[in-house]
Amino acid sequence: MSSGNKSADRFIPMAKPWIDESTINEVGAVLRSGWIVQGSQVSAFEEAIAGHHRISEAVAVSSATAGLHLAYLALDPLPGAPCFIPSFAWPSAANMAVQTGLRPVFVEVDPSTFNLTGNSLEAAIQSEKLSGQDLTGGIVVAVHEFGLCAPMPEVIAAAEKHGLMVIEDAACAFGATLNGSPAGHFGKMAVFSFHPRKSMTTGEGGCIVTNDKSMATAVRALRNHGQHVDNGERIFISAGFNYRMTDFQAALGLGQMRLFDEMLAHRRSIAAAYFEALEGLPFLSLPEWSDEHTWQTFMVVLDESIDRGRVIDAMATRGIGCGPGSVAAHELQFFSKKYPSNPESLTISSRLAAQGLALPMHHFVAVADIMRIAQALEASAAEVG
Ligand SMILES: Cc1ncc(COP(=O)(O)O)c(C=O)c1O
């Protein structure tokens, strides 16, 4: 496959999906067919996802955020119950917790995996208990940040000790495994995203996966106005939404699945090249290496002395697109006002949000580009430092 224009001075964006011509033709065929809403392509896409992640049920939806909304609802959330979520993550899981009457409680992350740990979860749980909060009906959302699975055995052990249910926000982790088991095998349900910045895309889109048939039945109905078909009879079993994926998005998704192994192998080779080029640079720290990572984002953490905003601007003048990695949800205006946290317990999340720098990571970055990006980063840091 062609990785596009490889000239030395071309602009390298931070993210860009690869959609091949056969997929574009297949999407066109669906558009021409006259059936464009959820139909046979969505069913085929769900089957392909379930097969790829070796899981029994896959339910395609319009985004991961919609999927998280439905996953919480399927658990029949108890109003005011705590929902433990790592602070350093896109706030979808926290937003949907609020929308379903749960109370977000932010958990600290590890400085190099960027994920919550069994210990950080236990600390957040103990702090809730100390302040007299009831944990009944509580949920833990294990975010697999940037495509690296959270340490699920220790997270599940801590959750189970306190009677909490676990779901996986695997938005960034399609294709990730942990000790050989695919993301989605650890919690009651897991949710993938197919936004264009993810390891594969359907434009917008997501999918809930689970081995629990009753959960799958509940989320299938909730995504489609509450409808459930039983023995050929259509019944309305819940007050549902319209969170369906369209058939042309699913055709795009099927094309992406055909390319997926190649795209993932490319991301992994780019990550390895970044490690080689950036290891030992004194002004940044690298993320934890794992062969099981999807490298949805490659984020380094700049030293406190370096102004990240100025580095992003300096990289742009050198033709390289960079950006912040993610946010510390506990610091966002809404959550800091409505669900205040103790900032002392979330200092790593705050530092990652302030100093994390996402570098280009996609199919059109070539291994040969990485030295140019590393040199630009050294020059930019020296210029602003
Ligand atoms: C951890 C995490 N969860 C959820 C989402 C939301 O995904 P979507 O845009 O498909 O709703 C994102 C998107 O960046 C994410 O990073």
Tokens of 240: 């549902």
Based on the fold, state whether residues 216 and 276 are members of the same structural domain.
Answer: no
- Alpha carbons 194 and 199: distance in angstroms, whole number: 8
Cβ neighbors of 310 (< 8 A, separation 6 or more) are 384
Q: Which residues pair with 140 in a beta bridge?
A: 84, 166
Q: Is residue 104 part of a domain?
A: yes
Measured from the CB, is residue 120 less than 6 Å from ligand 1? no
Residue at 77: amino acid letter? P
**Domain edge (last residue) among 253, 284, 304:** 253
Taking CA atoms only, the protein residue closest to ligand 1 atom 13 is 90
Tokens of 14: 């931070």
204: nearest Cα among 252, 170, 146: 252
Based on the fold, state whether residues 230 and 175 are members of the same structural domain.
Answer: yes
Taking CA atoms only, the protein residue closest to ligand 1 atom 14 is 90
- Alpha carbons 84 and 158: distance in angstroms, whole number: 12
Residue 324 CA to ligand 1 center (angstroms) comes to: 15
- Alpha carbons 296 and 301: distance in angstroms, whole number: 16
Measured from the CB, is residue 165 less than 6 Å from ligand 1? no
What angle in degrees, to the nearest 10, is found between the helix axes of 370-384 and 247-278? 70
Residue 68 CA to ligand 1 center (angstroms) comes to: 9
Q: Residues 271-274: contacts with CB within 8 Å, 24+ apart? A: 271/295, 271/298, 271/361, 273/367, 273/370, 274/298, 274/359, 274/370, 274/373, 274/374
Domain, as residue range, for 173: 21-253
Tens-digit pLDDT profile for residues 274-283:
999 999 999 9
Burial string for 65-82 (b: 16+ CB within 10 Å, else e) reads: bbbbbbbbbbbebeeebb
**Ligand 1 atom nearest residue 66's Cα:** 11
- Alpha carbons 234 and 206: distance in angstroms, whole number: 25
Tens-digit pLDDT profile for residues 146-180:
999 999 999 999 999 999 999 999 999 999 999 99
**Residue 8 confidence class, pLDDT cut points 50, 70, 90:** low
Number of domains in the chain: 2
Based on the fold, state whether residues 122 and 208 are members of the same structural domain.
Answer: yes
Q: Over 90: is that where the pLDDT of 295 sits?
A: yes
Residue in 70, 90, 169, 299 to alter for ligand 1 test, most ligand atoms within 8 A of Cβ:
90
- Alpha carbons 120 and 134: distance in angstroms, whole number: 19
Based on the fold, state whether residues 87 and 30 are members of the same structural domain.
Answer: yes
Residue 9 CA to ligand 1 center (angstroms) comes to: 32
Q: What is the mean pLDDT of residues 42-50?
A: 98
**Residue 294 confidence class, pLDDT cut points 50, 70, 90:** very high
Residue in 83, 148, 168, 193 to alter for ligand 1 test, most ligand atoms within 8 A of Cβ:
193
* 3-class DSSP state of 182: strand
**Ligand 1 atom nearest residue 193's Cα:** 10
Based on the fold, state whether residues 269 and 247 are members of the same structural domain.
Answer: no
Based on the fold, state whether residues 270 and 147 are members of the same structural domain.
Answer: no
Based on the fold, state whether residues 116 and 46 are members of the same structural domain.
Answer: yes
Q: Is residue 144 part of a domain?
A: yes
**Ligand 1 atom nearest residue 194's Cα:** 10
Query: For position 4, what pLDDT does the model report?
Result: 44
Contact 102, 94 (CB under 8 A): no
Measured from the CB, is residue 95 less than 6 Å from ligand 1? no
**Domain edge (last residue) among 220, 253, 286:** 253
Query: Residue 322 belongs to a domain with what CATH number?
Result: 3.90.1150.10
Tens-digit pLDDT profile for residues 210-246:
999 999 999 999 999 999 999 999 999 999 999 999 9
Based on the fold, state whether residues 246 and 272 are members of the same structural domain.
Answer: no
- Alpha carbons 298 and 135: distance in angstroms, whole number: 35
Residue 50 CA to ligand 1 center (angstroms) comes to: 20
Measured from the CB, is residue 65 less than 6 Å from ligand 1? yes
Q: What is the mean pLDDT of residues 76-100?
A: 98
**Domain edge (last residue) among 201, 227, 253:** 253
Q: Is residue 111 part of a domain?
A: yes
Based on the fold, state whether residues 242 and 265 are members of the same structural domain.
Answer: no
Tokens of 82: 């705590």
Measured from the CB, is residue 172 less than 6 Å from ligand 1? yes
Measured from the CB, is residue 206 less than 6 Å from ligand 1? yes
Contact 89, 237 (CB under 8 A): no
Query: Residue 45 belongs to a domain with what CATH number?
Result: 3.40.640.10
Q: Over 60: is that where the pLDDT of 5 sits?
A: no
Q: Is residue 8 part of a domain?
A: no
Tens-digit pLDDT profile for residues 106-134:
999 999 999 999 999 999 999 999 999 99
% of the chain at pLDDT higher than 90: 97
Measured from the CB, is residue 192 less than 6 Å from ligand 1? no
* Mean of all residue pLDDT scores within the chain: 96
Q: Is residue 172 part of a domain?
A: yes
Q: Is residue 355 part of a domain?
A: yes
**Ligand 1 atom nearest residue 204's Cα:** 10
**Residue 385 confidence class, pLDDT cut points 50, 70, 90:** confident
Residue 131 CB neighbour total at 10 angstroms: 8
Query: For position 238, what pLDDT does the model report?
Result: 97
Contact 277, 374 (CB under 8 A): yes
Q: Is residue 2 part of a domain?
A: no
Query: For position 7, what pLDDT does the model report?
Result: 53
DSSP string computed for 47-60: HHHHHHTT-SEEEE
- Alpha carbons 88 and 331: distance in angstroms, whole number: 10
297: nearest Cα among 248, 225, 359: 359
Q: What is the mean pLDDT of residues 298-316?
A: 97
**Ligand 1 atom nearest residue 206's Cα:** 10
Helices (H) and strands (E) in the chain, counts: 12, 15
Instruction: Give the DSSP letter of residue 78.
Output: P
Query: For position 310, what pLDDT does the model report?
Result: 98
Q: Is residue 32 part of a domain?
A: yes
Based on the fold, state whether residues 306 and 248 are members of the same structural domain.
Answer: no
Based on the fold, state whether residues 240 and 300 are members of the same structural domain.
Answer: no
61: nearest Cα among 335, 195, 244: 244
Tens-digit pLDDT profile for residues 313-372:
999 999 999 999 999 999 999 999 999 999 999 999 999 999 999 999 999 999 999 999
Based on the fold, state whether residues 240 and 278 are members of the same structural domain.
Answer: no
**Ligand 1 atom nearest residue 146's Cα:** 16
